[in-house]
Amino acid sequence: DTVLLERFGCFGGCITTVGMETLAWYRYEGTTDSEGLGVEMERLAAQMGGTIKWPYNDSECLDADFFKLVADHLVQESGVRPYLHIMCVDALVREGKVVGVVTESKSGRKAVLAKRVIDCTGDADIANFAGVPYTMRPKDEALG
């Protein structure tokens, strides 16, 4: 059984939460597209009517709100068991291995045990909770 825990009320990450317009902003003359999941999502969004032609290259511009439907479709089609509005607040570590996470939601605090945990938090929250060493760039050396 595969479980997907999502902090927000929709799937799609940056596309749906901040309105990113295209997955393939890099698709210009002289570049090579590697295909993969991003292109698959772009094509599915186009098939479902959730894109318009990007004027500057061969990409489709995504409708961020419509892409929520595309992401839901992908999750349902995959057979993944989704949970929305749930936040991981700690990692469960046994003998140096992450074996689950502690979550909080309106349902309260719960533990989710797993054979494998994949940290897709964007900020390595699970790795940090698990005590994995990391390096943080000084603010004056960071992008932006």
Q: What is the pLDDT of residues 46-59, one digit of tens each?
A: 899 888 887 777 77
Which residues are CB-neighbours of 12 under 8 A, at least 6 positions away?
64, 67, 68, 70, 71
Q: What is the mean pLDDT of the chain?
A: 87
The encoded tokens of residue 3 equal: 């479980």
Q: Answer whether 0.85 is exceeded by the pTM.
A: no
| Residue of 141, 119, 116 whose CA lies nearest to 129 | 119
Question: Is 70 exceeded by the pLDDT of residue 23?
Answer: no
pLDDT at 117 over 70: yes
pLDDT of 34 reads 72
The mean per-residue pLDDT over the stretch 6-14 comes to 90
With H, G, I as helix, E, B as strand and everything else as coil, classify residue 121: coil
Task: Check whether 132 has a pLDDT greater than 80.
Answer: yes
Judge residue 11's burial from the number of C-beta atoms within 10 Å of its C-beta, 0-12 exposed, 13-18 middle, 19 or more buried. Answer: buried
